[in-house]
């Protein structure tokens, strides 16, 4: 039965609100889903009129239950394990064996994968299953398998790891036997062992900053962002592609959905490879320049249906070409310059600039800290730790160096040492929001669920009391307000039944 129609002006205002707050555009064929979600929201939140519902949404924060219900309703994305057999075969037969062999030869047993727009987690768990298949010594590896989404309800389901038979329709029998257990109600639960290798977090691709060590979206080997671009308009897709490029290590790969349409202009810095049924398009352009915020201004409702430039059929695998050396670093040698380079994620240039200062005799703690940050973001984790320790040897009481050290140790999966560094950071500054937040995540990862929740609630309480628009030093451009919103989303993901 179709959902009850809404007044056209209300529908338009709702689309605009969603577009402004999340970057998601609602297309004509999705209007029925919007209407059904609104009908459900009206009764759930005690409204009788759609206008009251809209006013309630406007007054509520983007991280409120009302808003989250709306986003969860309109982003219900179908996903299933081992979706897209051609991509899965490429991962299983080519990409993983080659990368694993290379890492073994280099004696660096680590791998970093991000499922961006992970929905209920099937995509990320499929990768974890492929890894379990190929790594007999899985426990020796430092695996970073991250799933993020804007839909907190989907993230809660991903954490829970219970699926219907339909979600397993493409799952190989051996994987089903090894990683799932069937419950009395016939649902399939993912094994605790596999769940222990992945983690999920809230991240809005069109709003939040990445790459960032804080969201663990730096120095990645593989990003899967499949069937997500359907929600965005081309300007946002271009910006997300640029940021994905910065997240990947040179030679890293990006997998898009088979039907994701992107403009060829967004492929700068990537070279394309053919997969069975996909287009090949090769680009040797250097890393793309940063798109200014004005270029991704939200489209007005009346622009939503504007025809787009003709899209290229999406390639399914995109790899990062080596960036060309730049002249920026040589010119940038003051601390302000290096801070600016770090701020715009120009890690290589920041590193070169720090090296040129060091060659001229500068041996300060701050310079070492800069170096550590750039190295860590480039995935040169062991060197980063050395630089960070060298910085702390010169200035033992620097909370930012202790926090950076904690993030580096987290990447190295040295959890007890990371926890010690976080506690030291908090000893130096007990209002350090990001340290409380990271401590919470770490405690959860170590199985201390209640302690983890408490630390995250501490972070939220501090963020809510602080000046909303004050930028956090170590939080990838987030201010207190954004940090509080992310914490509210993530707390609901960990406690989905709490009102
Ligand atoms: C169709 S599902 C795709 C799931 C999975 N990637 C796959 O291909 O099977 C699309 C997912 O993108 C998420 N999404 C939409 N807009 C997003 C945004 N701005 N940031 C992060 N995730 C978003 C939705 O919540 C949904 O879970």
> How many angstroms separate the alpha carbon of residue 150 from the centre of ligand 1?
7
Higher pLDDT, 179 or 45: 179
Q: What tens digit of pLDDT does each residue of 385-395 get?
A: 999 999 999 99
> How many angstroms separate the alpha carbon of residue 117 from the centre of ligand 1?
4
Give the residue, out of 149, 230, 485, with the most ligand 1 atoms within 8 A of its beta carbon, to mutate for a pocket test. 149
Q: Which of 103-107, 306-310, 438-442 has the lowest mean pLDDT?
A: 306-310
Buried b (16+ CB within 10 A) or exposed e, 421-460: bbebbbebeeebbbbbbbbbbbbbbeeeeeebbebbebbb
> How many angstroms separate the alpha carbon of residue 156 from the centre of ligand 1?
14
Q: Provide the whole-model pTM.
A: 0.85
The finding on whether 371 has its CB within 6 A of some atom of ligand 1 is no
Tell me: pLDDT of 83 over 50: yes
Q: Which of 13-27, 163-177, 472-486 has the lowest mean pLDDT?
A: 472-486
Q: How far apart, in whole angstroms, are the C-alpha atoms of residue 384 and residue 381?
A: 5
Confidence (pLDDT) at 316: 54
Range 290-295 average pLDDT: 36
Q: Which ligand 1 atom is at minimum distance from the Cα of 257?
A: 8
The finding on whether 151 has its CB within 6 A of some atom of ligand 1 is yes
> How many angstroms separate the alpha carbon of residue 75 from the centre of ligand 1?
7
> How many angstroms separate the alpha carbon of residue 237 from the centre of ligand 1?
13
Domains of the chain, earliest start first:
8-74 (1.10.155.10), 85-320 (3.40.50.150), 328-494 (1.25.40.10)
Which are the contacts of 424, defined by CB distance < 8 A and separation ≥ 6? 402
Q: How far apart, in whole angstroms, are the C-alpha atoms of residue 271 and residue 315?
A: 10
The finding on whether 79 has its CB within 6 A of some atom of ligand 1 is yes
Tell me: pLDDT of 37 over 60: yes
Pairing of strands 248-256, 317-320: antiparallel
The finding on whether 211 has its CB within 6 A of some atom of ligand 1 is no
Tell me: pLDDT of 299 over 60: no
Confidence (pLDDT) at 308: 39
> How many angstroms separate the alpha carbon of residue 435 from the centre of ligand 1?
28
> How many angstroms separate the alpha carbon of residue 493 from the centre of ligand 1?
16
Q: Which ligand 1 atom is at minimum distance from the Cα of 154?
A: 27
- Per-residue pLDDT band for 476 (boundaries 50, 70, 90) equals low
Q: What tens digit of pLDDT does each residue of 240-278 get?
A: 988 898 888 888 889 988 777 777 777 777 877 766 654
Torsions phi, psi for 198 (to 5 deg) = -120, 160
The finding on whether 41 has its CB within 6 A of some atom of ligand 1 is no
Q: Which residue CA neighbors atom 17 of ligand 1 most closely?
A: 150
- The count of other CB atoms within 10 Å of the CB of residue 373 is 28
Q: What tens digit of pLDDT does each residue of 93-121 get?
A: 988 999 999 999 999 999 999 999 999 99
Q: How far apart, in whole angstroms, are the C-alpha atoms of residue 348 and residue 329?
A: 8
Q: What is the mean pLDDT of the chain?
A: 85
The finding on whether 75 has its CB within 6 A of some atom of ligand 1 is yes
Beta sheet of 180-182, edge-to-edge order: 162-163, 188-190, 180-182
Give the residue, out of 18, 117, 260, with the most ligand 1 atoms within 8 A of its beta carbon, to mutate for a pocket test. 117
The finding on whether 452 has its CB within 6 A of some atom of ligand 1 is no
- Per-residue pLDDT band for 474 (boundaries 50, 70, 90) equals low
Q: What tens digit of pLDDT does each residue of 320-369 get?
A: 665 544 555 545 588 999 988 888 788 889 999 999 998 888 999 999 99
> How many angstroms separate the alpha carbon of residue 353 from the centre of ligand 1?
38
SS3 253: strand
Q: Which of 476, 17, 473, 492 is nearest to 214 (CA)?
A: 476
Range 388-406 average pLDDT: 96
At CA 291, angle to CA 290 and CA 293, rounded to 5? 125
Highest averaged pLDDT of the listed ranges 48-52, 237-241, 363-367: 363-367
């Amino acid at each position: 039965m179709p959902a009850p129609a809404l007044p056209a002006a209300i529908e338009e205002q709702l689309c605009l609100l969603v577009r402004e707050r999340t970057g998601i555009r609602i297309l004509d064929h999705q209007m029925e889903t919007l209407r059904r979600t609104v009908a459900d929201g009206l009764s759930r939140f005690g409204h009788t009129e759609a206008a009251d519902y809209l006013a309630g949404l406007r007054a509520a924060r983007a991280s409120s239950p009302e808003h989250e219900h709306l986003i969860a309703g309109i982003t219900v994305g179908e996903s299933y394990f081992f979706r897209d057999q051609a991509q899965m075969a490429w991962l299983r037969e080519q990409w993983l064996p080659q990368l694993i062999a290379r890492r073994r030869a280099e004696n660096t047993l680590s791998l970093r994968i991000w499922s961006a727009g992970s929905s209920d987690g099937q995509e990320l768990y499929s990768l974890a299953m492929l890894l379990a298949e190929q790594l007999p010594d899985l426990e020796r590896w430092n695996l970073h398998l991250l799933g993020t989404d804007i839909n907190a309800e989907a993230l809660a389901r991903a954490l829970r790891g219970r699926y219907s038979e339909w979600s397993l329709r493409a799952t190989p029998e051996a994987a089903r036997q090894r990683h799932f257990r069937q419950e009395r109600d016939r649902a399939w639960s993912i094994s605790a062992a596999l769940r222990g290798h992945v983690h999920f977090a809230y991240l809005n691709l069109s709003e939040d900053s990445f790459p960032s060590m804080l969201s663990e979206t730096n120095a990645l080997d593989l990003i899967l962002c499949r069937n997500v671009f359907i929600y965005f308009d081309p300007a946002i897709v271009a910006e997300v592609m640029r940021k994905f490029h910065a997240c990947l290590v040179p030679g890293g790969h990006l997998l898009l959905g088979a039907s994701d349409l992107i403009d060829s202009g967004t492929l700068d810095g990537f070279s394309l490879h053919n997969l069975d049924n996909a287009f090949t398009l090769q680009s040797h352009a250097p890393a793309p320049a940063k798109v200014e915020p004005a270029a991704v201004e939200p489209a007005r409702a009346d622009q939503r249906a504007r025809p787009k430039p003709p899209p290229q059929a999406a390639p399914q695998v995109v790899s990062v070409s080596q960036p060309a050396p730049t002249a920026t670093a040589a010119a940038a040698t003051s601390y302000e310059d290096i801070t600016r380079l770090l701020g715009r994620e120009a890690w290589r240039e920041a590193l070169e600039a720090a090296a040129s200062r060091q060659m001229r005799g500068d041996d300060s703690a701050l310079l070492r800290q800069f170096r550590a940050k750039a190295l860590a973001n480039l995935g040169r984790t062991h060197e980063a730790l050395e630089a960070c320790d060298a910085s702390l040897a010169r200035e033992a009481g620097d909370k930012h160096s202790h926090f950076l050290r904690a993030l580096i140790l987290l990447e190295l999966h040295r959890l007890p040492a990371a926890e010690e560094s976080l506690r030291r950071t908090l000893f130096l500054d007990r209002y350090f929001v990001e340290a409380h937040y990271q401590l919470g995540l770490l405690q959860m990862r170590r199985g201390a669920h209640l302690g983890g929740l408490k630390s995250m609630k501490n972070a939220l309480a501090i963020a809510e009391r602080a000046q909303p628009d004050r930028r956090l030093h170590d939080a990838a451009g987030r201010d207190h307000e954004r940090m509080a919103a992310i914490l509210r989303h993530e707390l609901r993901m960990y406690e989905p039944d709490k009102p």
